């Protein structure tokens, strides 16, 4: 597929995101992401689904009613069009992804990853929730028709088990923001390269990544996956492509820049033209839109240790002094409410909850040790990965 503007391939719900009620904004983000992700396979949703999505955002119909109406629409459709099958796949997969993203849970396991594929593509394609039993190649525009070397089918389960266990065992303590972004990009890239399923790998990996980042404390309810899903896929391709004869090495920098925008609020220009292995002169440099000066070439294989940016917003840092104070007090420990209050010198429990603990949890810096049992007698609180990133920056004098 040739160069395209990702923004043309997702449905714009900006009016709800800017002006809607909180429930409308959340639904609009979920629908934007769900519909935008269909672009990774060159699919577009139907106008009928787009209308149902708007009615769902406005609270007129539930997601169950969306499903019923959508099924009825395709069952009773009398006039067939050439792209009906593609639209039906895009519509039903979008509906399923919206349902999944509306519940902020994450089964971070191999079974959870496989189950997610089934949940996304239930009623859409054959062999849902099943790992492929054949080897694959895919011709890529950014590789001038060459393919990434995907894992052989006999080792799929073992490879996914290994990658997820390695990520479970990884500690985010005492790492910089640059290291954090590079590590997350490497994990997502490796999981995608396995290509566990016959179809739908990128969409499954994207939704799994969103769920996982949420579980780490990051707020990823923004339009990057919606507007730049095709860039995301091509960045995964470049991160996993090496050709010694052509002098091309693995290039994770493009994927890292996607995550730098997502997690650090940077403004790299995420257009596919910069990912081509042989770009013309005007495409050789991928600019950071927040920096007026000339940027480094887009061909290095790793992200510089620091990237200058004038972006005022960061998803890790905060200006809330109560949150900063509590993050510093909690550090790398697991503490009860009583001990946290003692650490920061507060005696009014209600005041502490309203102005320190709850905002810290709502913004993803702190989580419960027993999230499924809020009133657990041994309940304690600890920093999320996002919280650890803020704590590390405070310790190094960056906040």
* Overall pTM > 0.85: no
Q: Is the Cα torsion angle 251, 254, 259, 264 positive or negative in sign?
A: positive
Residue 184 pLDDT > 50: yes
What's residue 298's pLDDT? Answer: 42
Q: What is the mean pLDDT of residues 50-76?
A: 95
Rounded to 5 degrees, φ, ψ at 241 are: -115, 130
How far apart are the C-alpha atoms of 174 and 200, rounded to whole Å?
36
What's residue 396's pLDDT? Answer: 67
What's residue 397's pLDDT? Answer: 65
3 state SS of 367: strand
Q: How confident is the model at residue 240 (pLDDT cuts 50, 70, 90)?
A: very high
Q: What is the mean pLDDT of residues 132-157?
A: 96
Chain segment 314-328, per-residue pLDDT in tens = 567 788 999 999 999
Residues 6+ apart with CB under 8 A from 295: 285, 286, 287, 288
Chain segment 334-350, per-residue pLDDT in tens = 899 999 999 999 999 99
* Domains identified in the chain and CATH numbers: 1-103 (no CATH), 105-315 (1.10.3290.10), 321-395 (1.10.10.10)
């Amino acid at each position: 597929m040739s160069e395209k503007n990702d923004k043309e391939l997702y449905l714009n719900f900006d009016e709800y995101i800017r002006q809607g009620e909180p429930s409308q904004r959340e639904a609009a983000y979920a629908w934007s992401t769900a519909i935008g992700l269909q672009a990774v396979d060159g699919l577009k949703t139907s106008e009928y689904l787009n209308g149902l999505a708007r009615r769902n955002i406005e609270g007129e119909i539930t997601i169950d009613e969306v499903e019923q109406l959508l099924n009825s629409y395709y069952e009773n459709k009398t006039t067939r069009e050439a792209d009906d099958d593609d639209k039906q796949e895009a519509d039903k997969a979008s509906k399923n992804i919206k349902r999944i993203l509306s519940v902020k849970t994450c089964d971070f396991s191999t079974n959870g990853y496989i189950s997610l594929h089934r949940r996304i593509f239930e009623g859409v394609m054959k062999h849902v929730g099943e790992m492929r039993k054949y080897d694959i190649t895919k011709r890529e525009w950014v590789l001038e028709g060459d393919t990434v070397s995907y894992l052989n089918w006999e080792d799929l389960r073992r490879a996914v088990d290994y990658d997820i266990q390695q990520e479970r065992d990884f500690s985010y303590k005492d790492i910089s923001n640059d290291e954090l972004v590079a590590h997350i990009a490497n994990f997502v890239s490796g999981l995608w390269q396995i290509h566990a399923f016959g179809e739908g790998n990128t969409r499954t990996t994207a939704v799994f990544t969103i769920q996982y980042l949420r579980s780490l404390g990051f707020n990823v309810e923004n339009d990057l996956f919606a507007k730049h899903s095709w860039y995301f896929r091509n960045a995964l391709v470049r991160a996993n492509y090496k050709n010694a004869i052509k002098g091309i090495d693995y290039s994770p920098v493009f994927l890292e820049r996607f995550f730098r925008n997502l997690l650090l609020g940077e403004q790299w220009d995420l257009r596919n033209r910069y990912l081509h292995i042989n770009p013309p002169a005007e495409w050789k440099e991928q600019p950071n839109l927040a920096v007026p000066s000339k940027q480094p070439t887009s061909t290095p294989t790793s992200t510089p240790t620091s990237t200058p940016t004038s972006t005022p917003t960061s998803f890790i840092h905060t200006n809330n002094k109560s949150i900063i104070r509590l993050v510093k007090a909690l550090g790398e420990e697991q503490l009860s409410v009583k001990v946290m209050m003692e650490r920061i010198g507060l005696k009014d429990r209600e005041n502490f909850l309203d102005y320190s603990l709850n905002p810290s949890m709502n913004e993803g810096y702190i989580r419960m040790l027993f999230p499924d049992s809020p009133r657990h007698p041994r309940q304690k609180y600890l920093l999320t990965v996002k919280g650890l990133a803020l704590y590390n920056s405070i310790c190094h004098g960056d906040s």
